[in-house]
Structure 1
């Protein structure tokens, strides 16, 4: 497999969408007409099992979709290959990121109408050789067998988006719909006792429970009117990854109607971006992100997933992700800023999140994921 193929793998199932001849016309990430066109293309292509696509962080930015090749809808996973990467350039450096977090906390205090904003930072690396996305995806799948592992070649040479997301934005099977938002996080520790202490701190943190509730409420506000029934947990559960503890909620419901307007892709457009990657209210958070983040996120913190002709599919939030262009890789991680956020803690949190991808691509040793390594 080369970087011309799109991949979405989860729970032991790997989906593949093929080469350039199967690419659908690009659209805008928030354009429902584009989503309906993807569904219509599947309906016109008997035997085509699904499409794989990617939405950008912003609704007016590009969206990508590729149709699966009926003759090649699965793939053998190659062995992971360890590549040599140069030292990372941090954008912005940790100290400047902390300044941006302080500015966001001050803005939240001054504007009661602004509830949360997610601010991120980047790591830029260069590989000594041309990395094969297939080998990088194999490494991600090996380290994150329970995650949503994805790779999508973007339009117009914009690069290859790849990652291993722990967060399901939305999944649909017939009338059944579900979402597993994550918000409120703390880095894990190598020592088991300290690791348990951190998990307990997160579970009992009023600040993190508030941050999580903002996301859950936003998901329920979108899905609630579309559902006959929507089950929302009263309290979040602890969700562990290799580098992070998160607060997570399993939201599940039954749609009132099934049709193009409630396809998995249309539901993803309605939900995205949640306060987990943007903030709330959404427009105000976008403006503050424009002011405080030094670069455009593009497809990072967007959404990646698959859709079939019936409208079923799964879409994951494009976090723990990177954008590969030739030998250069750009990684991104963000932290949710709410009143009371501590800048140093947010530096540590983003460092731990970045460590997930750094370890997977071989840029750091796996247990250097106690992630002062990148902070």
Structure 2
């Protein structure tokens, strides 16, 4: 990482071009500046007609947002994806020319994206635009916290580029993105909802319970898909605005690839990094919200004392503890869960704090934690094998880690639940639930129906 203390955009570009010329290879230049408060949703909306992919991350409870437009560089990886991605990211950081006097989370060189739930599962055409792992460095990044706002420009240059021409193009793009109207396109409406073979899904639940009763697994998470036809092509900016308004205490995300957009509002953090400190979340066990304060509290107390949900939650706590000790020290876990309330649902919640050991990274933690028992099952290999053979959908990026990292050793990844893939006038929504020995197929089907609600509500349902 080549740190530059004082610089203008053009001088930074000239330095990067000279480096590229001397080393006969492309160079990434990253420059961050502090700006007046800007609206990240308007920023994403401004990219709607630029034919450039966009990325978005919002931690609504913290008032923290990252909005990215364009792609200066993409990291992709195959079968050994965590190891490949870590090496590619480290090489990119080491060779980048960076001007970032702030070192705040989400500034400097930032990469955003995600990966598929299971790289070994059979892929379908639904997810053609989403590789098994894809992390992009956006060309322009807006980072907004509760206190400050920053703009980062990232650009890849080679030895024959002209700094003045690139500067002119980037300045024009910056003005276009920051002066866009904050008015949102109209909401779409849902014209048709199509359940995908519900009786077959319930039969798979029965098969899973038999598998568990035969002591071949303790828990298997099964997902299903809901197809939604929309009245018009939906605007990503409008959906994101609605998700932020309707889903407090969630991670709102969107990742666009060639016009297809995977987005959602997940309550479940997988891992957060702040230098050497890491924080994970056990979130398993689900119940609806009540219509009154009294009913809500009654449901919460029932959830806290429900044997099935507490057992499901303990699976996750135990697995995360075992995973974290491999790469961390000072692992701290409370003895009992608390209630984590959302608009439509409430969950059992236990935070896990730890300190990364030397020579380990956020990639190691992601690799060890994913899939958690809340998304795969217990034991992991047996449950994944059952899912590959019997689950009748391609999960793609659903249920997988999505998030961001920066060159200052900050980053955060969530589990991509409460989500959907938007393609023109169609949306594929996904929801899952944990199947255990005494699971009832009809009740599990109802639970997945509740979990579709966050996405249906922002699509006009």
Q: What SS does the corresponding residue of 1:345 show, helix, strand or coil?
A: helix
Q: Structure 1 residues 78, 144: closer, same or farther in 2, change over 3 A?
A: farther
- 1:208-247 pair list within 5 angstroms: 208-247=309-348
Q: Distance in 2 between matches of 1:187 and 1:127?
A: 27
The one of 32, 51, 55 equivalent to 2:83 is: 32
What whole-Å deviation, never above 9, does each CA across 1:231-261 have from its counterpart, x for those lacking one?
112111111111112111111112222x4x3
Does the CA contact (< 8 Å) of 1:172 and 1:178 recur in 2? Answer: yes
Q: Of the two, which has the highest radius of gyration?
A: 2
Residue 7 (1) aligns with residue 110 (2) = no
Does the CA contact (< 8 Å) of 1:39 and 1:308 recur in 2? Answer: no
Q: Which moved more, 1:56-65 or 1:70-79?
A: 70-79
The equivalent of 1:88 in structure 2 is 193
Does the CA contact (< 8 Å) of 1:78 and 1:134 recur in 2? Answer: no
The equivalent of 2:400 in structure 1 is 302
Q: Distance in 1 between matches of 2:460 and 2:73?
A: 31
Q: What SS does the corresponding residue of 1:182 show, helix, strand or coil?
A: strand
Quote how far apart the aligned CAs of 1:58 are. 0.9
What TM-score, normalized to structure 1? 0.88
Does the CA contact (< 8 Å) of 2:264 and 2:418 recur in 1? Answer: yes
Q: CA RMSD in A?
A: 2.1
Gaps of 5+ in 1: 364-375
Does the CA contact (< 8 Å) of 2:221 and 2:375 recur in 1? Answer: yes
Quote how far apart the aligned CAs of 1:97 are. 2.7
Residue 152 (1) aligns with residue 252 (2) = no
Quote how far apart the aligned CAs of 1:73 are. 4.5
The equivalent of 2:435 in structure 1 is 337
The one of 296, 317, 320 equivalent to 1:195 is: 296
The equivalent of 1:100 in structure 2 is 204
Does the CA contact (< 8 Å) of 2:54 and 2:255 recur in 1? Answer: yes
What whole-Å deviation, never above 9, does each CA across 1:282-302 have from its counterpart, x for those lacking one?
121112112332111011111
| Number of residue-to-residue matches in the alignment | 355
- 1:212-361 pair list within 5 angstroms: 212-257=313-358, 259=359, 261-262=360-361, 264-361=362-459
Q: Distance in 2 between matches of 1:360 and 1:71?
A: 25
The one of 117, 127, 137 equivalent to 1:67 is: 137
Gaps of 5+ in 2: 1-46, 100-107, 121-130, 145-176
Residue 49 (1) aligns with residue 113 (2) = no
Q: Distance in 1 between matches of 2:308 and 2:443?
A: 12
What TM-score, normalized to structure 2? 0.72
The equivalent of 2:155 in structure 1 is none
Runs of 4+ more than 6 Å apart: none
Q: Which moved more, 1:62-71 or 1:196-205?
A: 62-71
The equivalent of 1:19 in structure 2 is 70
The equivalent of 1:369 in structure 2 is none
The one of 151, 157, 162 equivalent to 2:263 is: 162
Quote how far apart the aligned CAs of 1:71 are. 6.2
Quote how far apart the aligned CAs of 1:149 are. 0.6
Q: Distance in 1 between matches of 2:292 and 2:201?
A: 28
What whole-Å deviation, never above 9, does each CA across 1:18-75 have from its counterpart, x for those lacking one?
214x241422374311233124323433244311111110145611111133564568
The equivalent of 1:123 in structure 2 is 226
Q: Distance in 2 between matches of 1:78 and 1:268?
A: 38
- 1:108-119 pair list within 5 angstroms: 108-111=212-215, 113-119=216-222
